[in-house]
């Protein structure tokens, strides 16, 4: 399939509940790109993809996927063209060491700060943090990202581990839960909707690493790291 006579879809790269991402060839410039297309096209997806494109167009950060174009094609309704990279989930190679987990969180927090600097909440970090083939972090899916103050932030998304209306501090919480998960494989306890619980740690995780993550995932939002940058700095300081 060729979209708009320009982007030839080569092979599937990644699927999620909202969209499919394909590796594609840009026939105009002869370079590989990634093309993201909605799974359930409609007017709402056109608006969503446009919001994602508008936000990504304002961010230039190595941890945030670089967007090239937004397009319309009758076969898929709307699509986003982004930089090409091979990506995977952070836990694809098994449970992480504390040192690697802190580097993952530091890189992810740097990228989240770039989103926060545009006065947006990411809202999808529990699923949205991915790594390139070389191991560096990239935020790729901006489906749930919203401007601060948007009414949508009152609606809890299932990927939001904090189970609370979203703020920038909710993103900090989600990074903490992600760090805990990649080191322990323990999912958030959501048996009591909206009631957060302190993290439980295995003995092999050092105390300074636990302290960084416990602060990020604090039950009370006011006790969390005040910014993604603060979390990134703490995570790097805790590396062994």
The pLDDT value given to residue 87 = 78
Q: What is the mean pLDDT of residues 221-226?
A: 95
What is the DSSP track for 58-113?
A: T---TTBPPEEEEEEETTTEEEEEEE---EE-TTTTSSPPHHHHHHHHHHHHHHHH
| CATH class of the region 2-83 | alpha beta
Asked if residue 89 has pLDDT above 90, the reply is no
What residue segments make up the domains of the chain, in order of their start?
2-83, 87-237
Asked if residue 52 has pLDDT above 80, the reply is yes
The pLDDT value given to residue 129 = 87
CATH number belonging to the domain at 87-237, selected among 1.10.510.10, 2.40.50.100, 3.30.43.10, 3.40.50.720: 1.10.510.10
CA dihedral 148, 63, 89, 8 (to 10 degrees): 100
Q: What is the mean pLDDT of residues 94-98?
A: 82
pLDDT in tens, 130-181: 888 888 999 988 988 999 988 777 765 544 555 567 899 999 998 999 999 9
Contact by Cβ (8 Å): 187, 132:
no
The pLDDT value given to residue 164 = 64
The pLDDT value given to residue 91 = 58
Q: Quick one: what percent of the chain has pLDDT higher than 90?
A: 60
The pLDDT value given to residue 40 = 82
Q: Around Cβ 7, how many Cβ atoms within 10 Å?
A: 24
Higher-scoring residue by pLDDT: 64, 41: 64
Distances in Å between the Cα of 126 and the Cα atoms of 12, 32, 73, 76, 123 are: 22, 28, 31, 27, 8
Q: How far apart are CA 177 and CA 60, in angstroms?
A: 26
The pLDDT value given to residue 158 = 45
Overall pTM surpassing 0.85 (yes/no): yes
Q: Is 53 helix (H, G, I), strand (E, B) or coil?
A: helix
Asked if residue 81 has pLDDT above 50, the reply is yes
């Amino acid at each position: 399939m060729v979209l708009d006579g320009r982007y030839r879809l080569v092979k599937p790269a990644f699927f999620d509940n909202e969209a499919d991402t394909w590796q594609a060839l840009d026939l105009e410039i002869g370079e590989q790109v990634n093309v993201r297309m909605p799974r359930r096209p409609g007017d709402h997806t056109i608006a969503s993809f446009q919001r994602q494109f508008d936000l990504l167009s304002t961010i230039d950060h190595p941890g945030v996927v670089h967007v090239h174009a937004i397009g319309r094609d009758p076969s898929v309704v709307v699509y986003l063209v982004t930089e090409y990279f091979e990506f995977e989930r952070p836990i694809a190679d098994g449970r992480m060491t504390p040192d690697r987990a802190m580097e993952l969180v530091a890189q992810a927090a740097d990228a989240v700060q770039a989103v926060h600097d545009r006065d947006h909440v990411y809202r999808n970090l529990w699923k949205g943090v991915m790594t390139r083939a070389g191991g560096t972090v990239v935020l790729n899916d901006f489906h749930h990202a919203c401007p601060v103050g948007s009414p949508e932030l009152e609606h809890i998304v299932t990927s939001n581990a904090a189970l609370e209306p979203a703020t920038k501090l909710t993103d900090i919480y989600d990074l903490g839960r992600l760090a805990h998960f990649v080191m322990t494989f323990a999912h958030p306890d959501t048996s009591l909707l909206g009631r957060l619980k302190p993290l439980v740690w295995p003995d092999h995780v050092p105390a300074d690493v636990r302290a960084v993550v416990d602060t990020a995932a604090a039950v009370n939002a006011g006790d969390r790291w005040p910014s993604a940058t603060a979390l990134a700095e703490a995570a790097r300081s805790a590396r062994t």
